[in-house]
Structure 1
């Protein structure tokens, strides 16, 4: 090897070594970048889990006040001990607990002593136990509706309590409390790829997707805090263990954490507050995928650099060989040029393959994140669940009156609602791909009537009015019954949400041939938001009021049917949404 070639190899080798060292030094920064990116992706999922948990807890909040209105409770509290009345109240509370799936429903007198309970038959019943020290009792005794979380100091069962005052005229004579097992609320994060935990203001873990994190404190408890916990009997103070956790800040909202009792297990931690309850919900996503992405990118850059160094070395050697070729035969020069061309072609192919691979990795990451979001979505089930509850109550009332036909009709409606929820679940799983359910001719009149039947539940509770006159004749369009019904319910929901707080809430619903029009008398749509209205996760509602998926899902459903969905501000005020579908007769004629 001559001196010139030796210098070339020393130069490229030194440059390659410097690049390798720079890549090694950049690994922590690159890894931190992907960890922060993972934290940003976890944000919407964490908010969704937070809203789902809040909805699950709030669903039971009105129960104590409703039960406390029963006259028998005030009679039992006001009268001297009456064995027959006590037995009647105990059994009534037991049946109520079974119906609402509560752990216990119990009645306390004004001193805090439990005089009746749903668990009166069980050895661990609360009867004759005094809860005057509990904050939920004290608040309810003052006339406030209240809730409180307690981890049982005896059984270890994590309970959530709702309480309401029992009144006789203008006097509060007792307190009615409903207890639910917190384990029942853990389903809000089933199917997610992350771990979740909920902690209180003291850092005590109330709920978690990991059972070994229950009854653990995320930070050492002060003596003052321990005295308050022991006084309220809120947690089993003798069983509170510290959850050893090491934290490294990634940015203002995310941290890299690891647990001392696990080997090599680390997570990206993001948190959000539940201010109404003084809780904090935390999402912990394994760092493996983010670190794998960093290593993949580093590998791609390394391979690219290796190819570039190869090309550089080839070029320098080419120059050396060209100078040597001045004194050699022309044939050796042609052979050298052919070799360089071959290597350049290989380099171009490799670069194209790397670009294609990088594009596939980005798309796969997007679809994975969207699939995780779809697994946790629950807001689409609220209306069918409310309808099922109403029909179930109606059926029970009809059965008590021996009105069998009406009860059977309500049970049939419940079955339809269950079928609807199962179909909606399948549609949400298919949000990121084209649905497999084929569209076909269907009667639009019936779809609208079914959607209004579901929506009657919201109108009965929140007010508002739907101005709708059925079309004179049958209107046949191309679509799917359940998915088109979902579109109509979403449009009506958005219309009433836009008019929240107004005295006169009227939604105009019109069916003109294959065209459905929904027009509200609200404030209208911000012109700047019109272009983004159908984008996923875009919403103009306040935080906690929506995720921005309803209109995006509806838009995709209508597009799958070969139709078109538009939104605009009506000249007379309010927002107007128009869905134009394909007429079924036109499709049949085209097929012939």
Structure 2
């Protein structure tokens, strides 16, 4: 009878202790999962937001441009520092890394190809990619989140040209788990432990892994060259320990694990899944203390049956211990809930701050475009102001000539010399046509252009610019030599804005050669590789010093004397060409003088517009 009672008491207390141990393990599990989920959610949407950065999209359109690559590297490094991310990097559609936040480090990602990583393929095919792995370059663990960089392609429309990836360092969370009891592990889909408060369990599978799982790990190189071992599991058994709130299964697993010394340890394991990351979080608590406690209680119960007084004291002591344990458990649970609430509030504040930053950036871009448009219009009106005095002569000369021809026609008519009258009327018509062309070019040049891009023929555009600046060329004694590869050449641009670019460049060239012996200007247009058209304007002036080339397109930067220009012409031209998805550069010509190069997309002549 005593043995039966002892066995019943021991079984009951063991179950109660395991139940309490399970509850503490669940609290630890909830806190661990909340911390991990909060860390991942903090960075989850960032790659998609950063992928819209203009510098990132521009580099994917021109991956070989060293200037854009340097801008992208610096932007990614600064952003990674501000966000607290481990690494940020940009890959092309073939997986080659062309910019990274660690570009200036010995183990830079630039030049590496990570197309074999699942997050790269998922980002291109599904719109987002997530993956945990050991870095093949840095050999550091990280959680990777990738998002496609979508740009507009004239041939294919919207198209993902690359993937922006953020690598999250989870070492700080792991360090917060310091201690041996309970043991916390996080496993990947193949059952390999990649996070734990026990370093000797890292990169080891909990039990024997299947050949399929090992092959999948090798294919994705999840752990690079790290050798993956095994944590020997002797046996497993599922326990039903009552129900949790809401009627969910409240069971747990008993796991016997072999130790290096030849012995074995028993753990009570609770786990939960993180579907977004495809992880399994597990808390293993040693059961030795709980079982020892149950054994001691059973022995005490057995003694109580012989010695009533001593037994009563032992029972009272046990109840007090249980009450204290419940109080500690409640306090621990309250603290955990407080931490989760605080962490949730912090994440909400962070999300609001990010949303406000996005709104500010959108508003800033709108203001920038509005200001740019106003500067372009102001630049054109300033150019018209400079032309006004000379253009009055351009109008007065044909008008005076027309009047003289009209007076002479009257005299010839009185004499009956009709052939001379007809000739004078023809000359008057030519004078009227000339003034009409000049006024039409002035009207088109002064009006605010349409921002839409259309095919623009180069020949009539250059002819209109020659009409507008003819007085300036004659006044300066300069000659504009035009060389078109094909009279039907057309580019994707806006006619009025392209005229302004050519007027600004020609005006600067005339100013630069004011004291030059050779006043010739050469304007050449050629087709080049990649479906582009290249316009080159060369003068025979002193050229542009190397130390000034980096600043020559900056707003309000000018090498002219005070009062001779605002320094906006080249800056406006640079921004207009960029809006055309083109490039404006300056260099010294091998034969002397400066040479400005404009590269634009070639277009057919159909649908020409402003």
TM-score range, shorter chain: 0.5 to 0.7
Preserved CA contact (<8 Å) 2:273 2:279: yes
Give the 3 Å change call, closer, same or farther, for CA 153–76 of structure 1 in structure 2: closer
Deviation larger for 178-187 or 113-122 = 178-187
Q: Distance in 1 between matches of 2:323 and 2:179?
A: 22
| Counterpart contact for 1:31–1:294, Cα < 8 Å | yes
1: CA distance between counterparts of 2:83 and 2:6?
60
2:107–2:137 contact (8 Å) kept in structure 1? no
Return closer, same or farther for 1:237/1:306 CA change in 2, 3 Å cut-off. Answer: farther
Q: Counterpart of 2:150 in 1: which secondary structure? A: strand
Q: Secondary structure at the match of 1:150?
A: strand
1:122: which partner in 2?
105
Q: Which residue of 2 aligns with 1:357?
A: 317
Gaps of 5+ in 1: 1-17, 309-346, 399-592
Q: Residues 187 and 367 (structure 1 numbering): CA distance in 2 closer, same or farther, change over 3 Å?
A: farther
Q: Where does residue 39 of structure 1 map in the other structure?
A: 22
> Unaligned stretches of 5+ in structure 2?
153-157, 241-250, 361-610
Residue of structure 1 in register with 2:345 after alignment: 383
Mapped partners of 1:372, 1:296: distance in 2: 26
Counterpart-to-counterpart distance in 1, 2:347 and 2:214:
41
**CA 1:304–1:148 in structure 2 vs 1: closer, same or farther (change >3 Å)?**
same
User: Are the aligned partners of 1:106 and 1:117 in contact in 2 as well (CA < 8 Å)?
Assistant: yes
1:476-504, Cα deviation, whole Å (9 max, x unpaired): xxxxxxxxxxxxxxxxxxxxxxxxxxxxx
Report the counterpart of residue 241 of structure 1 in structure 2: 229
Alignment of 1:137-156 (within 5 A): 137-142=120-125, 144-153=127-136, 155-156=138-139
Gap change, CA 1:47 and 1:283, over 3 Å in 2 = same
Instruction: Establish whether residue 232 from structure 1 lines up as the match of residue 226 from structure 2.
Output: no
- 1:173 shift after superposition: 1.2
Q: 155-164 or 87-96, which moves further after superposition?
A: 155-164
Q: Deviations over 1:238-290 (max 9, x none)?
A: 50000112334141532222331255643211122223332211111122331
Is contact 1:143–1:172 with CA below 8 Å preserved after alignment?
no
- SS of the counterpart of 1:196? strand
Q: Which residue of 2 is the match for residue 255 of structure 1?
A: 253
Deviation at residue 83 of structure 1 after TM alignment = 1.4
Distance 1:202 1:392 in 2: 35
Match of 1:194 in 2: 182
| Structure 2 residue corresponding to 1:217, chosen from 187, 190, 205 | 205
Counterpart of 1:208? 196
Tell me, yes or no, if the aligned pair for 1:36 and 1:254 is still in contact at 8 Å: no
How far does residue 158 in structure 1 lie from its aligned partner after superposition? 1.3
Q: 1:223 to 1:113 in 2, by over 3 A?
A: same
Matches of 1:278 and 1:395, distance apart in 2? 31
Q: Hey, what does 1:369 align to over in structure 2?
A: 329
Task: Verify the 8 A CA contact 1:45 1:373 in the aligned structure 2.
Answer: no
Q: Check conservation: 1:219, 1:243, Cα contact below 8 A.
A: yes
Counterparts of 1:87 and 1:132 in 2: how far apart (Å)?
Answer: 23
Rounded to whole Å, the distance in 2 between the matches of 1:305 and 1:91 is 78
Give the Cα separation in 2 of the matches to 1:197 and 1:80.
Answer: 42
What SS class does the counterpart of residue 102 from structure 1 fall into? coil
Once residues 80 and 281 of structure 1 are traced to their aligned partners in structure 2, the CA distance between those partners, rounded to angstroms, is 41
Aligned twin of 1:175: 163
Separation in 2, partners of 1:301, 1:247 = 31
- In 1: Cα distance, 2:350 partner to 2:49 partner: 19
CA distance in 2, matches of 1:230, 1:148: 14
> 2: CA distance between counterparts of 1:388 and 1:152?
28
C-alpha distance 29-384 of structure 1, shift in aligned 2 (>3 A): closer
In structure 2, distance between residues paired with 1:359 and 1:351: 12
Are 2:55 and 1:64 equivalent residues in the alignment?
A: no
Q: Find the aligned partners of 1:243 and 1:209 in 2 and give their Cα distance.
A: 15
Name the SS for the 1:59 alignment partner.
helix
Q: 1:28 to 1:246 in 2, by over 3 A?
A: farther
RMSD: 3.1
Contact 1:152–1:236 (8 Å) recurs in 2? yes
Deviation for aligned residue 1:171: 1.4
Judging changes above 3 Å, is the alpha-carbon distance between structure 1 residues 21 and 151 closer, same or farther for their aligned structure 2 residues?
same
1:111 has 2:73 as partner: no
The residue that corresponds to 1:329 in the other structure is none
Post-superposition Cα deviations, 1:425-448, rounded to whole Å, max 9, x if no partner, equal xxxxxxxxxxxxxxxxxxxxxxxx
Between the aligned partners of 1:231 and 1:392, the Cα distance in structure 2 is 36
Q: Structure 2 vs 1, CA of residues 280 and 394 (structure 1 numbering), >3 Å: closer, same or farther?
A: closer
Which position in structure 2 is the counterpart of 1:133? 116
Residues 190 and 392 of structure 1: is their aligned pair in 2 closer, same or farther, counting only changes over 3 Å?
A: farther
The alpha-carbon distance between structure 1 residues 143 and 28, as it changes in their structure 2 partners (threshold 3 A), is closer
1:269 aligns to what SS in structure 2? strand
Contact 2:9 2:301 in 1 (8 A): no
Counterparts of 2:23 and 2:345, CA distance in 1 = 30
Residues of 1 paired with 2:50 and 2:350: CA distance? 21
With 154-163 and 192-201 compared, the bigger mean Cα shift is at 192-201
